[in-house]
Structure 1
Amino acid sequence: MTVARPLLFLDVDGTLLPFGGPGMLPQPRDGKPDDPDMPRPEFDFIDPALGPLLLALRCELVWATAWMADANDVIAPRVGLPELSVADLPPYGDGEPNGLGWKTRALVRVAAGRPFVWIDDVITEMDRWFVEVEHPGSALLFHVESSVGLTADGVAEIATWLRGRES
């Protein structure tokens, strides 16, 4: 029997593309640029070393971002990732009135019981509760600070979690 690799849902804004820190622009209103070809100085803050680190994890990488497929054209080459599949998310929004994030239900549905890691700068306690109650597999909701984004140390923490679930 072949066991499916865990999924790794990867956000862009605030995760691979830090924002809000010194010298950075504020987050785009809808989570992605109006014109993907528009020069954005914050692209200089993307760490190209993260792509190889993420690819070395024993999981299937999936975009989970308002950028949707544009992440493959604009972000993937800058971080050293190949074209990734894109999670089927609802339109970008503020989430539900109870505090559940706009991506959470969709990510649990896409995971369909498979173990997953979700890397994002917007993960709430309600998201954690929902995943714990509604997702039968193991899950790591890995929150990053938006002004810093994902770091090599963060990827190492995720790798440790993934190794722990293999034993």
Structure 2
Amino acid sequence: MRAGNRLLLFLDVDGPLIPIGGHHDAVDDRPGHRLTPALARALASNPLLYRLDPRRGRWLAALPCELVWATTWMADANEVIGPLLGLPELPIVQWPEDADDDQPGLVHWKTRGLVDWAAGRCSVWIDDEVTDADRGWVDAHHTAPALLHHVDPRRGLTRDDIDTINSWLIHFRPA
């Protein structure tokens, strides 16, 4: 958990940043980013990484908040995803051992951990698995405003998503 007043944005990878399903052109435009041998191996071993769109990294970096990885990619988010998107190293939510207790129709297994991590701070959660059950639980258990933003996993994070999130962040930005 972190202290401070800066708004938080919890970021999932699969679905929001790596679209799943449907047809996607390979995104190979990574100007200014050095493709290290480790990144080249990652791209070769996981063809879905070619769906990462560097524009999403620029969009996210421009938001008035602290970005935090909220993904099962864990350290690989900083080692693989971040560099391909042009993002700096970000904090990573550490999931408890029993975090995979997801049950259909109930609160997502990430929800409680993100509320704990936010520790009463305003926050946004970008995920393709957010539901009304999660929104209700956060409303009942989180003391600060929170936006749980669902992203269509077939398209991934869009400019419209970013505009919606940015408007929310600006409204709740600390004075």
The TM-score by the shorter chain falls in which range? 0.7 to 0.9
Flag structure 2 segments of 5+ consecutive residues without an equivalent.
26-40
> What is the rounded CA distance, in whole Å, between the counterparts of 1:163 and 1:23 in structure 2?
32
Identify if the C-alpha distance between structure 1 residues 83 and 129 changes in structure 2 by more than 3 Å, giving closer, same or farther. Answer: same
Whether 1:141 aligns to 2:148 is yes
> What is the rounded CA distance, in whole Å, between the counterparts of 1:53 and 1:165 in structure 2?
19
> What is the rounded CA distance, in whole Å, between the counterparts of 2:153 and 2:85 in structure 1?
17
Q: TM-score, normalised by structure 2?
A: 0.81
**Helix, strand or coil: the match of 1:49?**
helix
Report if aligned partners of 2:67, 2:91 keep a CA contact under 8 Å in 1. Answer: yes
39-48 or 5-14: bigger deviation: 39-48
Whether 1:15 aligns to 2:21 is no
> What is the rounded CA distance, in whole Å, between the counterparts of 1:144 and 1:82 in structure 2?
23
Identity within the alignment, %: 49
Report if aligned partners of 2:16, 2:156 keep a CA contact under 8 Å in 1. Answer: yes
What whole-Å deviation, never above 9, does each CA across 1:98-118 have from its counterpart, x for those lacking one?
Answer: 611010000000000000000
1:74 is aligned to: 80
Report if aligned partners of 1:123, 1:143 keep a CA contact under 8 Å in 2. Answer: yes
> What is the rounded CA distance, in whole Å, between the counterparts of 2:140 and 2:154 in structure 1?
30
Whether 1:39 aligns to 2:45 is yes
1:63 is aligned to: 69
Report if aligned partners of 2:122, 2:172 keep a CA contact under 8 Å in 1. Answer: no
Q: 2:17 is aligned with what amino acid?
A: L
Structure 1 outlier segments of 4+, above 4 Å: 35-38
> What is the rounded CA distance, in whole Å, between the counterparts of 2:48 and 2:136 in structure 1?
33
2:58 is aligned to: 52
Identify if the C-alpha distance between structure 1 residues 37 and 79 changes in structure 2 by more than 3 Å, giving closer, same or farther. Answer: closer
CA root-mean-square deviation: 2.1
Q: TM-score, normalised by structure 1?
A: 0.84
Which of the pair has more CA radius of gyration? 2
Q: 1:130 is aligned with what amino acid?
A: W
1:153 is aligned to: 160
**Helix, strand or coil: the match of 2:109?**
coil
Q: Which structure features the higher share of helix residues?
A: 2
Size of the aligned set, in residue pairs, is 155
**Helix, strand or coil: the match of 1:140?**
strand
Flag structure 1 segments of 5+ consecutive residues without an equivalent.
25-34
Report if aligned partners of 2:129, 2:150 keep a CA contact under 8 Å in 1. Answer: yes
